[in-house]
């Protein structure tokens, strides 16, 4: 995207802000501020008599998908913005103006190369929902399945690329001139967001995300993910099973049906932590417009998720670091949190652990033993942000999606059940995950994974030793009896013999212990054998 186009886009953004009477934003905009007088000469189509929330919502809708998504993100934070503005921005979840059905039909027929009537038994022209990236129509397949058809907005990719160019320009200026630019790494943040938003434009990718999430929660009584009809999916068209549920935001309907709201809220927290730590694959766009409740059994309500365009994963290092931070936080071990930050390289090497510990304690301690209604993660993170500034903590771009998802979860929890004990619900999930990573289960898992290597080593070692012995006996290996080379060969032979012994012992112990566990006999002896196998593997190391 050319620089000239980027500048024109920035001018267009300011024109929209003026149009809806949001002049204060322009006054705070340093770039192109001299041009604001040109905008004041343009006639406004709306005046300031319209409610502020409505004007903000309409401006975001006109500015396009990236800005709509920003409005969606903050609409759940009623603790941070006035209720009237939150109500207006909540309309961005599922009330974005649709594009004409004629365009939707043209996109579908272009994707399939045949008419809509040939593909579907019924295609409903009235959209079920319209969002910033795509809109959804209901339909019926020839085989009789009720489905939803998701269609990308026409021209959405060009518009997003244009806005990304603006963001990159602003991020480059911030990185170069802003005093906090180097620490906050704005260019990396924009790159991370670009990767995420562009992934949403390929509906085949979204279909794959949905299929993976469905496998992860197969048989779950907490979350249902609709089926994907792969034969009908294209990069610009997604066809999925239609689900019938109550929107999570419709509290009146949930209460009238006798839904157990406490169970629903606690399950939401467990689903989040299960996705992040057990599956390492989490739905990262969990705003209220994408979450429904299936109330077949109101005492045991079940979530149903839609819109899988944004998912997140973490590296094993970040996953382990995050889990240890959460557990230390739940245990109020602020020194551990400070050391984790130092060990991870997120703070400079010379940082005093005791000072960082004191600063973290000051922020976190006041929120313990409080219900969710009295806690604001956003405010807490703002205070932690000030601590980060003081200690030069680097922002980690790979955590942005996780932070966004956590805010969405908090917003849903606050809306559903403000008395939710977040710590009590999350702590057991994290404890189980940590046990699987470093406890007895982890040892057993590692041993099982290494069994093929033990087998191969036992098969290869006798041949290697025999071949070496033949070469020595036939005189093909000549050496000085007093030379250092002889001593090295002797040491290597001794090491190989020792490794062969320990690997054989390890394999025997592991196989015996695993068989005993499988048969359910003498479990104490089985675990003792597995422990002996682990020790043998350690002893076999060169």
Which residues carry out catalysis? 285
- Residues forming a β-bridge with 283: 311
Report the C-alpha gap between 28 and 17 in whole angstroms: 12
Q: 3-state DSSP call for residue 159?
A: helix
Q: In the chain, what's the furthest Cα-to-Cα distance? A: 102
Match 């070469």 to its residue by tokens: 471
Report the C-alpha gap between 13 and 66 in whole angstroms: 12
H/E stretch holding 211: helix 203-216
Of the candidates 218, 210, 223, 216, the one whose C-alpha atom is nearest the C-alpha of residue 301 is 223
Mention every residue, 6+ apart, whose C-beta is less than 8 A from residue 256: none
Of the candidates 415, 222, 193, the one whose C-alpha atom is nearest the C-alpha of residue 304 is 222
Where helices occur in 64-141 by DSSP H, the ranges are 65-75, 83-90, 101-112, 116-119
Task: Tell me the two tokens of residue 24.
Answer: 């204060």
- Residues forming a β-bridge with 223: 303
For 521-537, give the DSSP string: --HHHHHHHHHHHHHHH
Task: Tell me the two tokens of residue 119.
Answer: 């593909």
Task: Tell me the two tokens of residue 138.
Answer: 């209901």
E strand spans, 111-185: 120-123, 129-130, 134-141, 146-152
Report the C-alpha gap between 451 and 510 in whole angstroms: 8
- Residues forming a β-bridge with 237: 151, 234
Task: Tell me the two tokens of residue 252.
Answer: 């009146």
H/E stretch holding 50: none
């Amino acid at each position: 995207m050319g620089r000239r186009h980027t500048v024109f886009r920035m001018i267009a953004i300011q024109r929209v802000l003026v149009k809806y009477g949001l002049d204060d934003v322009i006054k705070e905009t340093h770039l192109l501020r001299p041009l604001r007088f040109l905008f004041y000469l343009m006639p406004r189509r709306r005046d300031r008599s319209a409610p502020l929330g409505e004007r903000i919502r309409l401006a975001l809708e006109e500015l396009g998908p990236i800005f709509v998504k920003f409005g969606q993100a903050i609409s759940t934070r009623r603790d941070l913005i006035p209720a009237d503005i939150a109500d207006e921005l909540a309309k961005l979840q599922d009330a974005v103006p649709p594009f004409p059905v004629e365009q939707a039909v043209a996109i579908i027929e272009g994707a399939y190369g045949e008419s809509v009537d040939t593909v579907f038994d019924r295609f409903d022209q009235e959209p079920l929902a319209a969002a910033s990236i795509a809109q959804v129509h209901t339909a019926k397949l020839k085989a009789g399945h009720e489905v939803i058809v998701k269609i990308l907005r026409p021209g959405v990719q060009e518009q997003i690329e244009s806005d990304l160019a603006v963001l990159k320009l602003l991020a480059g200026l911030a990185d170069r001139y802003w005093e906090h630019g180097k620490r906050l790494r704005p260019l990396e943040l924009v790159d991370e967001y670009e990767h995420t938003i562009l992934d949403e434009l390929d509906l085949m990718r979204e279909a794959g995300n949905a299929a993976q999430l469905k496998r992860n929660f197969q048989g779950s009584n907490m979350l249902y993910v609709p089926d994907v009809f792969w034969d009908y999916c294209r990069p610009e068209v997604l066809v999925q099973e239609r689900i019938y549920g109550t929107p999570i935001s419709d509290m009146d309907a949930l209460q009238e049906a006798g839904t157990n709201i406490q169970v629903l809220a606690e399950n939401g927290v467990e689903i989040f932590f299960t996705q992040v730590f057990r599956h390492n694959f989490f739905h990262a766009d969990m705003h209220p417009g994408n979450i429904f409740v299936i109330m077949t059994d109101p005492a045991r309500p079940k979530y149903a998720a839609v819109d899988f365009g944004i998912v997140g994963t973490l590296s094993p290092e970040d996953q382990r670091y995050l889990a240890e931070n959460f557990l230390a936080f739940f245990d109020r071990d602020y020194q551990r949190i400070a050391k984790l930050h130092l060990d991870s390289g997120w703070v400079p090497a010379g940082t005093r652990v005791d000072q960082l510990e004191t600063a973290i304690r000051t922020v976190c301690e006041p929120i313990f033993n409080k219900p969710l209604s009295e806690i604001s993660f956003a405010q807490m993170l703002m205070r932690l942000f000030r601590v980060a500034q003081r200690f030069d903590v680097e922002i980690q771009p790979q955590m942005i999606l996780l932070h966004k998802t956590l805010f969405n979860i908090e917003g849903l929890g606050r809306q559903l059940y403000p008395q939710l004990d977040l710590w009590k619900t999350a702590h057991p999930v994290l404890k189980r995950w940590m046990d699987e990573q470093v406890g007895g289960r982890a040892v057993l898992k590692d041993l099982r994974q290494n069994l093929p290597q033990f087998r191969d080593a036992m098969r290869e070692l006798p041949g290697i030793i025999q071949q070496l012995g033949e070469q020595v006996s036939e005189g093909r290996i000549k050496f000085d009896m007093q030379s250092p080379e002889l001593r090295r060969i002797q040491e290597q032979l001794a090491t190989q013999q020792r490794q062969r012994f320990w690997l054989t012992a390890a394999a025997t112990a592991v196989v015996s212990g695993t068989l005993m566990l499988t048969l359910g006999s003498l479990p104490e002896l089985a675990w003792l054998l597995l422990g002996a196998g682990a020790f043998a593997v350690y002893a076999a190391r060169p």
